[in-house]
């Protein structure tokens, strides 16, 4: 029997790795397809607010990627909703074909890649035919790749705008987009309701938003509102939609309970993996105002983490630890 070894990879080691939007989006789409086919498992996210009145919350997710045949454990802890420096997230992967541990790594780069990949896929499947404009609301660390990934998947988009309030986030958002699409124009806006009314695709990824909470009813006919677990979306958004979907109905019940109707749980028309598999449509008609709730599923973290880990290990990065000796 081989001696179990765990590769440990740090945030700085992962930050310099080259992984293309196409590679990440392909891995995430394959993960949704495998889940829709019943090959993968993704129990609902476990969320626990820390007691004693502290402004802190912890998450845990467990899943099995049937395409790669890897089990993943992801944990996240944040102290202070507005403090990005006190947000820590990790993922561990185990090879189910050999029964051996593979890697323990920082998950910041993973989340910052698979989240915009999911957004791009939702937009591709659920936007109205002929969509030409998109608006990003929020310029946090998890939003930096949103517009580059979106345009990678939907190059026909012509009018690209964003809203942000933090100078560092605004600069980083513009710089990241220019890195991928130096010849494309990106416009910063200040009036969120007016911009929403003029956008085919609206991606709300803001935390405690410095803007009016976005409503689905603000969208033009055929508009799509994607909430990336955003606090900047009004609790009426799902109820106002002509068509509503979520990446996971069970996780909507954990992290999106504020969208519940007065007489019970939120009612969805589809789960996104079924849309990827072609079993459900992304919308019923071109005039539908569609609301999509995107909550991270660990089955999408696993293949992105695996791809990054493989690149890092091939480059000789990280440490090997034999915890079980």
* Number of residues written out for the chain: 325
- Give which of 28, 61, 27, 31 is closest to 44, Cα–Cα: 61
Mean pLDDT of 252-269: 72
**% of residues, the chain, pLDDT over 90:** 77
Task: Give yes or no for residue 82 having a pLDDT over 80.
Answer: no
Domain match, 80 and 170 both = no
DSSP character string of 178-212: HHH-TTS--EE-S-HHHHHHT-SEEEE--SS-SSP
Q: Which residues pair with 73 in a beta bridge?
A: 62, 92
Let me know if residue 131 belongs to a domain. yes
Domain match, 235 and 314 both = no
Domain match, 241 and 266 both = yes
Domain match, 136 and 230 both = yes
Domain match, 76 and 138 both = no
Let me know if residue 155 belongs to a domain. yes
- Can you give the pLDDT at residue 114? 96
- Can you give the pLDDT at residue 56? 84
Let me know if residue 102 belongs to a domain. yes
Q: Residue holding tokens 């394959």?
A: 30
Domain match, 82 and 211 both = no
Domain match, 223 and 305 both = no
Quickly state the pLDDT bin for 255 (edges 50, 70, 90). Answer: low
Other beta carbons less than 10 A from residue 160's beta carbon: 21
Rounded Cα gap, residues 100 and 94, in angstroms: 6
Let me know if residue 1 belongs to a domain. no
Phi and psi at 168, nearest 5°, equal -65, -40
- Our count of domains for the chain comes to 2
Query: For 112-142, how does the pLDDT look when each residue is reduced to its tens digit (9 = 90+)?
Result: 999 999 999 999 999 999 999 999 999 887 7
Q: The domain that contains 29 carries what CATH number? A: 3.30.1780.10
Q: The domain that contains 290 carries what CATH number? A: 3.40.50.720
Task: Give yes or no for residue 265 having a pLDDT over 70.
Answer: no
Domain match, 89 and 147 both = no
Domain match, 91 and 152 both = no
Query: For 315-324, how does the pLDDT look when each residue is reduced to its tens digit (9 = 90+)?
Result: 999 999 999 8
Domain match, 261 and 130 both = yes
Domain match, 308 and 197 both = no
Full residue range of the structural domain in which residue 22 is found: 6-110+299-321
Domain match, 158 and 221 both = yes
Task: Give yes or no for residue 51 having a pLDDT over 80.
Answer: no
Q: Is 14 helix (H, G, I), strand (E, B) or coil?
A: helix
Other beta carbons less than 10 A from residue 202's beta carbon: 29
């Amino acid at each position: 029997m081989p001696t179990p070894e765990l590769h440990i990879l740090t945030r700085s080691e992962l930050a310099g790795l080259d992984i293309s939007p196409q590679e990440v989006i392909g891995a995430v789409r394959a993960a949704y397809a495998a889940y829709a086919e019943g090959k993968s498992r993704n129990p609902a996210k476990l969320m626990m607010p820390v007691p004693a009145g502290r402004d802190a919350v912890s998450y845990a997710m467990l899943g099995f990627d049937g395409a790669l045949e890897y089990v993943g454990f992801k944990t996240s802890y944040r102290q202070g909703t507005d403090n990005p420096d006190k947000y820590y997230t990790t993922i561990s992967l185990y090879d189910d074909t050999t029964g051996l541990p593979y890697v323990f790594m920082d998950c910041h780069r993973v989340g910052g890649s698979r989240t915009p990949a999911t957004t791009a896929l939702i937009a591709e499947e659920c936007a109205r035919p002929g969509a030409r404009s998109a608006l990003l609301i929020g310029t946090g660390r998890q939003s930096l790749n949103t517009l580059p990934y979106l345009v990678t998947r939907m190059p026909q988009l012509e009018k690209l705008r964003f809203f942000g309030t933090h100078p560092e986030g605004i600069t980083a958002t513009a710089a990241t987009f220019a890195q991928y699409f130096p010849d494309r124009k990106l416009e910063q806006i200040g009036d969120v309701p007016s911009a929403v009314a003029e956008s085919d695709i609206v991606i709300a990824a803001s935390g405690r938003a410095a803007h009016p909470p976005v409503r689905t009813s603000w969208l033009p006919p055929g508009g799509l509102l994607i909430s990336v677990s955003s606090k900047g979306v009004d609790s009426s958004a799902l109820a106002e939609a002509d068509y509503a979907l979520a990446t996971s109905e069970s996780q909507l019940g954990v992290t999106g309970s504020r969208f519940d109707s007065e007489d019970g749980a939120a009612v969805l028309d589809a789960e996104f993996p079924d849309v990827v598999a072609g079993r459900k449509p992304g919308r019923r008609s071109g005039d539908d105002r569609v609301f999509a709730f995107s909550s991270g599923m660990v089955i999408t973290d696993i293949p992105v983490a695996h791809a990054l880990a493989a690149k890092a290990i091939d480059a000789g990065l990280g440490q090997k630890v034999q915890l079980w000796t």
